[in-house]
Structure 1
Amino acid sequence: MSLDVREAIKSGKTVLGIELGSTRIKAVLIGEDNTPIASGSHDWENSYVNNSWTYSLEDIWKGIQDSYRKMASNVREQYGVALQTIGAIGFSGMMHGYMVFDEAGNQLVPFRTWRNNLQEQASAKLSELFNFHIPQRWSIAHLYQAILNGEEHVSDIHFLTTLAGYIHWKLTGQKVLGVGEASGVFPIDIHTNGFNQTMVTQFNELTASNQLPWKLEEIMPQVLVAGERAGVLSEEGAKLLDVTGELQAGIPFCPAEGDAGTGMVATNSIAKRTGNVSAGTSVFAMVVLEKELSKAYEEIDLVTTPAGDLVAMAHSNNCSSDLNAWVGLFDEFAKAMGLDVDANKLYGTLYNLALQGDPDGGGLLAYGYLSGEHMTHFEEGRPLFVRSSESKFNLANFMRVHLFTALGALKIGMDILLKQEGVKLDQILGHGGLFKTEGVGQTIMAGALNVPVSVMETAGEGGAWGIALLASYTLNKADNETLEQYLNDKVFAGKAGSKVEPNAKDVEGFEAFMKRYTAGLAIERAAVEYLK
């Protein structure tokens, strides 16, 4: 096998995907069968500068170059060859945010990431204007807020893009975005797979009095769908990506995508009536719709798959952080008792106890709001655990209620889709840390959503693998072969996974918990007001 892989590497039949997540940059090289053959990663963190969450350009390139170098070293160690050419490359990154450049290509203000919540005024105004929910983290909300703020740099903008779009531009010279990523910049017309021209005109009319020297369509990137070629690695780009100078220019690129789209690809959940849930520090569900929703909802974002199909996204800022903190407390207790417990065993034991708790969590209540939660209209959060004298306070219920609350805000958004809009879902694909302990996260999620939840063995490969698959599709797709067909036939065929069906008692128990959860939001509000 390694001889075949070695020849594929030498002859450029591999594909590279690199994704820039919020805490890690990962590079994955895949072989002709679309399975990973080498990888490298780089840890990084955002900085809080002048009231804004950001990453510097220096840190972006340092991280990309380090992850690429480690991946290339991994190739050399395993197969004894230098990585000089690749069949295709794709980049993805955290969606949304604000990166703007002047005519000379100079960055005008530091990168403003999705994490910033300073665009409330712009979000509300644009949502009303378009009759379409524009979240604060979307690029257009960042832009309009900068206009409302009277920021001087706005008149100098020549190009507005995202993190993935910026990297793609620097490596290829092409100002383009994949449609899934573009759908977090500005609303997409799903009939044309381009930016919604009616809304573009509305925006230009809205800002006409500001006398800007540009029109919106002049500064935004071109939109491409999965499978389209999106330029090639330039000579300058090759030196920027591989500082050793071994990588050759001319390698084709797929359109840059966002982490939501690559998560959908990595879990093979881009078909209608399917969805995926990514559950880690935050949690979001992506549901591929059969038809448009009846109206705009503040709790639901409308984006697209990398192929351009409409997706409803329910996003919660908080998921497992507070849960992890409680597990950390139990770890401290174990150490204080002279016990050295393996982390996997600790998580596994505590998570499995949750399955033995009362269906509704024994009357306990918790909020894992480490930060604000837009789904329930909190700008700030306070992690909170509450019980009454009648609650059944034991370890099983304690763990169960903390797993419940990790999905509480998400369920509010999903109930809008499944109950109010009648959206049909055949199954949800789960990935992320919440699903690491076999069967537990799936069971809780199935009870929360009343939908079968599956976890694929390949789900752990993550978004870097997802963007590599999109690059592979661009390079290897047959005529008229859709992305859905390519994934089903050439990537996921025969792949094992596990499915958990919803249990009636779990569904009923979660609904009972949610009544406490919504009624108790006043307690969380009081905690925010009191604990300044």
Structure 2
Amino acid sequence: MDIKKIIEEGSAIIGMELGSTKVKAVMIDGDGNVIAKGSYKWENKLENGIWTYSMDDIKNSVQGAYAKLLENVQKNYGTVIKKVKAIGVSAMMHGYLAFDKNDTLLVPFRTWRNTITGEAADKLTEAFNFNIPQRWSIAHLYQAILNGEEHVKDIAFFTTLAGFIHWKLTGKKVLGVGDASGMFPINDKTNDYDKAMIETFDGLIADKGYSWKLADILPGVLVAGDNAGVLTDDGAKLLDVSGNLEGGALVCPPEGDAGTGMAATNSVRVRTGNVSAGTSIFSMIVMAENLKSVHREIDVVTTPEGAPVAMVHCNNCTSEINAWEGLFKQVLELYGVEVDEDRLFDLIFLEALKGDPDCGGLVGFNYFSGEPVTGFDAGRPLFVRTANSKFNLPNFMRMQLFNALAAL
């Protein structure tokens, strides 16, 4: 079947992922072949000490990526997208998006990148006898409670970024189990939140007198293959500002970027693993059985079908590399060169292969933000050399790549 017919018959499938610096939209056919794609660049902001994206940022990024996808379809196939068979959304995990009963956001989105929940993470880890990292949603909620934040009493629902987008597309307040496991611990026997830990949490906050219990405000949990709703007409209008897209597409459970990375690398079976490198970097190892004790550097999450995974997550990976690439791009533009950024990255990364084993004595720290796994609450990127260091591009880029992997 020709691609134009697949698109016009509504047989194509769209996947969208909201990463930390880029939102990607990809259309495939029933065999997984890529038909079209589009992307939209965005960046988090540090506002009042909080790493965040605004609601407008989120809406504009989703619409922008879809618009680029549509532009690609129109250019290559001379048609528009009216219907699709299915849609899936994934996004950066964890963080804190809390809403009241009127669906109003109570405080600005607190992303995974924040290192402001140390007290809560420590107390919950002790109470649960289960590692709770700072970036997890439950740590953000409990820290807000410990801080005495006024908004907490009004919470009716809280979720992740993928859960928020899915809710707006379908009206369903659910999460895939992998993304849910980064909000609150999952019982891998039931593929649902750990009931004993929920009871423990409710006990910890019983004296606060909130009208809600934790189970009331968490998203529902689904595993891969479960029915997570359909694209509503309002969801279609949100996604496609041109107004051509119709509702009705099946929508899979929203997942976290860790789950999509595992699926993309075929690392969802027991004793398989992968490393995902982007703004953050993390390794994912699917375990044959759960950890027997708490390790603060290892987070227990799940695959998209609920198998336990040992995750080691570091907040910093490519941000410093991206900053230097941006500087090199500016220099080239001074010469009137139109820079292809993908090509520029290829060139400077390949230079690293020519560098000295010790990077010529160049030393760097890529901590753009705090790094809990090594005990840093805030980041300050550094580049250090002595007068006799071998300061050249191969050594510099080799050092940057070493930096990106060092914490992991």
Residue 82 (structure 2) pairs with residue 84 (structure 1): yes
Match of 2:165 in 1: 167
The AA in structure 1 aligned to 2:103 is: G
Q: Which one of the candidate residues 27, 33, 36 is aligned to 2:34? A: 36
Give the distance between the partners of 2:63 and 2:329, measured in 1 at CA. 36
The AA in structure 1 aligned to 2:234 is: E
CA contact (8 A) 1:8 1:32 kept: no
Give the distance between the partners of 2:143 and 2:342, measured in 1 at CA. 45
Structure 1 residue 200 displacement after superposition? 0.5
Match of 1:145 in 2: 143
Match of 1:65 in 2: 63
Q: Which one of the candidate residues 6, 9, 31 is aligned to 2:4? A: 6
Residue 164 (structure 2) pairs with residue 158 (structure 1): no
Question: Closer, same or farther in 2 for the Cα pair 1:394/1:176, shift >3 Å?
Answer: closer
Deviations 1:169-197 (A, max 9, x none): 12212111000110111011111111111
Match of 2:120 in 1: 122
CA contact (8 A) 1:15 1:31 kept: yes
Give the distance between the partners of 2:373 and 2:298, measured in 1 at CA. 9
SS of match in other structure, 2:25:
strand
Structure 2 counterparts to residues 37-436 of structure 1, below 5 A: 37-323=35-321, 351-352=349-350, 354-357=352-355, 359=357, 361=359, 365-386=363-384, 399-410=397-408
Question: Closer, same or farther in 2 for the Cα pair 1:215/1:343, shift >3 Å?
Answer: closer
SS of match in other structure, 2:275:
strand
Deviations 1:333-353 (A, max 9, x none): 899999999877775565445
Deviations 1:376-421 (A, max 9, x none): 11123333445679988776555444432321110xxxxxxxxxxx
Give the distance between the partners of 1:44 and 1:386, measured in 2 at CA. 30
Question: Closer, same or farther in 2 for the Cα pair 1:385/1:148, shift >3 Å?
Answer: same
Deviates more, 1:318-327 or 1:121-130: 318-327
Deviations 1:247-301 (A, max 9, x none): 2222211001111111222222222222222223332222222222232222121
Q: Unpaired segments of 5 or more residues in structure 1?
A: 411-532
Give the distance between the partners of 1:177 and 1:189, measured in 2 at CA. 15
Deviates more, 1:142-151 or 1:78-87: 78-87
CA contact (8 A) 1:108 1:153 kept: yes
SS of match in other structure, 1:236:
helix
The AA in structure 1 aligned to 2:72 is: N
CA contact (8 A) 2:124 2:139 kept: yes
Structure 1 residue 63 displacement after superposition? 2.2
Question: Closer, same or farther in 2 for the Cα pair 1:123/1:242, shift >3 Å?
Answer: same
Question: Closer, same or farther in 2 for the Cα pair 1:122/1:388, shift >3 Å?
Answer: same
Structure exhibiting the larger radius of gyration computed from Cα positions? 1
Give TM-score, length-normalised by structure 1.
0.70
Match of 1:476 in 2: none
Structure 1 residue 4 displacement after superposition? 1.9
Question: Closer, same or farther in 2 for the Cα pair 1:359/1:230, shift >3 Å?
Answer: same
CA contact (8 A) 1:357 1:397 kept: yes
Give the distance between the partners of 2:61 and 2:332, measured in 1 at CA. 36
SS of match in other structure, 2:251:
coil
Give the distance between the partners of 1:364 and 1:26, measured in 2 at CA. 35
Question: Closer, same or farther in 2 for the Cα pair 1:329/1:218, shift >3 Å?
Answer: closer
Flag the structure with more relative contact order, 1 or 2, with Cα contacts below 8 A and sequence separation at least 6.
1
The AA in structure 2 aligned to 1:103 is: K
Deviations 1:206-265 (A, max 9, x none): 111111111101111110000111011222222222233322222211001111111222
Deviates more, 1:301-310 or 1:372-381: 372-381
SS of match in other structure, 1:407:
helix
Give the distance between the partners of 2:340 and 2:75, measured in 1 at CA. 30
Percent identity reads 57
Q: Unpaired segments of 5 or more residues in structure 2?
A: none
CA RMSD of aligned residues (A): 2.9
Give the distance between the partners of 1:109 and 1:341, measured in 2 at CA. 39
Question: Closer, same or farther in 2 for the Cα pair 1:11/1:273, shift >3 Å?
Answer: same
Give the distance between the partners of 1:393 and 1:105, measured in 2 at CA. 54
Give the distance between the partners of 1:88 and 1:340, measured in 2 at CA. 38
CA contact (8 A) 2:115 2:372 kept: no
Match of 1:413 in 2: none
The AA in structure 2 aligned to 1:256 is: P
Number of aligned positions between the proteins? 408
Structure 1 residue 76 displacement after superposition? 2.7
Give the distance between the partners of 2:336 and 2:107, measured in 1 at CA. 52
Question: Closer, same or farther in 2 for the Cα pair 1:116/1:267, shift >3 Å?
Answer: same
The AA in structure 1 aligned to 2:380 is: R
Give the distance between the partners of 1:232 and 1:339, measured in 2 at CA. 46
Structure 1 residue 30 displacement after superposition? 0.8
